[in-house]
Amino acid sequence: MLEGKNELVKNYLASIPFDQRLYSQDLRGSSVHAKMLAKQGIIAQDDAEAIIAGLSSIRKEIEQGEFQFKPELEDIHMNIESRLFEMIGDVAGKLHTARSRNDQVALDIRLFLKEEILKTIEELKSLQSSLVGLAEANKDVIMPGYTHLQQAQPVLLAHHLLAYFEMFQRDKARSYDCLERVDVLPLGSGALAGVSYPIDREFVARELNFSKVSTNSLDAVSDRDFVIEYQASAALVMMHLSRLAEEIILWSSSEFGFIQIGEAYTTGSSIMPQKKNPDVAELTRGKTGRVYGNLMAILTTMKALPLAYNRDMQEDKEGLFDTIDTLHSSLKVFAEMVKTIKINTGRISQATKADYILATDLADYLVKKGLPFREAHRVVAKLSEYTINKGKNFHELSLGEYNDFSPLFAKDVYNITLESSVAARDIVGGTSPQRVEAALTRAKELIEEKYEKPN
């Protein structure tokens, strides 16, 4: 409580401007706590019913915009408790029996994060679905694959898009994994040492849908690993979004021209009327930095805190809320933007003819004729240099020119094409049409998988 403090200190210490966002979780946890106290005979049943009814009325006030949040009451917990006193009198004081604000806030954040992780998973699925839709609609398109942003080998466009599907699949797995560690009930730990009342923590866990109960009271009130883990997981999601954003930006440029983004997801220039700037992709790339910053902030806050609770830990929420909001909005807008992308197959086809992306296939050809790979690599390197100097592509060379570099070249060298190149990569994880078709089928199955809560 902040009575007697000057306005500067009150405003500095108050967390209500941001932790009022936890009102629903705080009310839910308090209602179950009151129910448990009555079940255990710690407070009277009539008192518990009055408390629960009062909390229900407070919920309505908040959701109807009628509740007055007061900074001098410091946080969401005291704002709700103060209003409960106004509604039902001194009975409200019984609600805080066998509870501290330390385990109360830990409960609220865990309840909140459980909900947000499940939302994140659904948003990841939605983005995956958009990627699969774009891949399936263009599964026969062959494009240049790149290393060092230099053309390397031909791949199916669908194979390239499904690489991002795999990234987001790992993000989903991390989210599920994070959810398991968030899914631990801290309530009942008290301020730090546990409580001296005969509470039933397992009952509270069941009522609040927690799988486990914390096993050390000191750790339970001072632990923010689950916040850090979510922030780290979110940073990885944003990194993957940023990589995809970078490719969308490049591919939509005049130099590439591989794609067109729907107009709703681009903006014009203030002076250049022809411009369609990929601002959504660019802003996502930019917002990745703020999520990284939030992760570093909470890591730095927690790095030197002695057990148990310290006021530094009030800094766990603003960055978390910002990361959650940024991640949700980025995933949602990307899922919709990807649906609007149109593939310029003509430009992609032109790009595959403009470089020497079949060089590896020529080396493999010589290997199959008996030449050691390193020697085959040397031969094709010289052949590539020759074609560049002559201004030719491989398919324009005569057999005599091929034989100047190796007698192993025969007429069947002309059977090496973009189509034969991708078809040859017919191994698990490869870019052949059969493997990509199987990958699309698997991807759709993974999107439909349901979360099963651990026992």
The string of pLDDT tens digits covering residues 324-369 is: 999 999 999 999 999 999 999 999 999 998 668 999 999 999 999 9
Q: What is the dihedral of CA 170, 172, 176, 178, to 10 degrees?
A: 70
CA distance 155 to 161: 11
Proportion of the chain above pLDDT 70, given as a percent: 96
Q: What is the pLDDT of residue 7?
A: 81
User: Is a pLDDT exceeding 80 seen at residue 317?
Assistant: yes
Three-state SS annotation for the chain: CCCCCCHHHHHHHCCHHHHHHHHHHHHHHHHHHHHHHHHCCCCCHHHHHHHHHHHHHHHHHHHCCCCCCCHHHCCHHHHHHHHHHHHHHHHHHHHHCCCCHHHHHHHHHHHHHHHHHHHHHHHHHHHHHHHHHHHHHCCCCEEEEEECCEEEEEEEHHHHHHHHHHHHHHHHHHHHHHHHHHCEECCCCCCCCCCCCCCCHHHHHHHCCCCEECCCHHHHHHCCHHHHHHHHHHHHHHHHHHHHHHHHHHHCCCCCCCEECCHHHCECCCCCCCCCECHHHHHHHHHHHHHHHHHHHHHHHHCCCCCCCCHHHHHHCHHHHHHHHHHHHHHHHHHHHHHHCEECHHHHHHHHHCCCCCHHHHHHHHHHCCCCHHHHHHHHHHHHHHHHHHCCCHHHCCHHHHHCCCCCCCHHHHHCCHHHHHHHCCCCCCCCHHHHHHHHHHHHHHHHCCCCCCC
Q: What is the pLDDT of residue 286?
A: 97
- Residue 231 backbone dihedrals phi, psi, to 5 degrees: -60, -40
* Cβ contact 393:356 at 8 Å: yes
Q: 10 or 106: whose pLDDT is higher?
A: 106
Proportion of the chain above pLDDT 90, given as a percent: 89
CA distance 113 to 115: 5
pLDDT tens-digit map of 98-153 = 999 999 999 999 999 999 999 999 999 999 999 999 999 999 999 999 999 999 99
Instruction: Specify the amino acid at residue 424.
Output: A
Q: What is the pLDDT of residue 54?
A: 98
Residues written for the chain: 455
Question: Residues 318-325: contacts with CB within 8 Å, 24+ apart?
Answer: 318/18, 319/231, 319/293, 319/294, 319/295, 320/109, 320/113, 320/227, 320/230, 320/231, 320/294, 321/18, 321/21, 322/290, 322/294, 323/230, 323/231, 323/234, 323/290, 323/291, 323/294, 323/295, 324/116, 324/234
CA distance 7 to 435: 66
The answer to whether the bond into 152 is cis (omega within 30° of 0) is no
CA distance 248 to 260: 9
Per-residue confidence band for 6, with pLDDT thresholds at 50, 70 and 90: confident
User: Is a pLDDT exceeding 80 seen at residue 269?
Assistant: no
CA distances from 300 to 51, 137, 228, 316 (A): 39, 46, 10, 11
Q: What is the pLDDT of residue 438?
A: 97
User: Is a pLDDT exceeding 60 seen at residue 2?
Assistant: no
Q: What is the pLDDT of residue 271?
A: 65
User: Which residues have a Cβ under 8 Å from the Cβ of 300 and sit 6 or more positions away?
Assistant: none
Angle at 408 between CA 407 and CA 411, to 5 degrees: 100
Instruction: Specify the amino acid at residue 117.
Output: I
User: Is a pLDDT exceeding 70 seen at residue 268?
Assistant: no
Q: Specify the CATH superfamily of domain 102-350.
A: Fumarase/aspartase (Central domain) (1.20.200.10)
Residue 57 known to be catalytic: no
- For domain 7-97, which CATH number applies: 1.10.10.10, 1.10.275.10, 3.40.50.300, 1.10.357.10? 1.10.275.10
User: Is a pLDDT exceeding 80 seen at residue 402?
Assistant: yes
Within 13 Å and on the Cβ side, how many CA atoms surround 364? Answer: 12
Nearest residue to 360 (alpha-carbon basis) of 379, 374, 380: 380
**Mean pLDDT (the chain, rounded):** 94
User: Is a pLDDT exceeding 90 seen at residue 30?
Assistant: yes
User: Is a pLDDT exceeding 70 seen at residue 373?
Assistant: yes
CB atoms under 10 Å from CB of 213, counted, come to 16
User: Of 33, 126, 130, 148, which is the active-site residue?
Assistant: 148
- In this chain, the answer to whether the domains covering 7-97 and 102-350 adopt an identical fold is no
pLDDT tens-digit map of 272-300 = 656 688 999 999 999 999 999 999 999 99
Q: What is the pLDDT of residue 137?
A: 97
Q: Estimate the crossing angle of helix 101-137 against helix 76-88, to 10 degrees.
A: 120
Residue 328 known to be catalytic: no
Q: What is the pLDDT of residue 197?
A: 98
Q: What is the mean pLDDT of residues 299-319?
A: 94
User: Of 56, 269, 349, 420, which is the active-site residue?
Assistant: 269
CA distance 283 to 274: 20
* Cβ contact 376:367 at 8 Å: yes
Q: What is the pLDDT of residue 4?
A: 55
What are the residue ranges spanned by the domains of the chain? 7-97, 102-350
Q: What is the mean pLDDT of residues 294-319?
A: 95
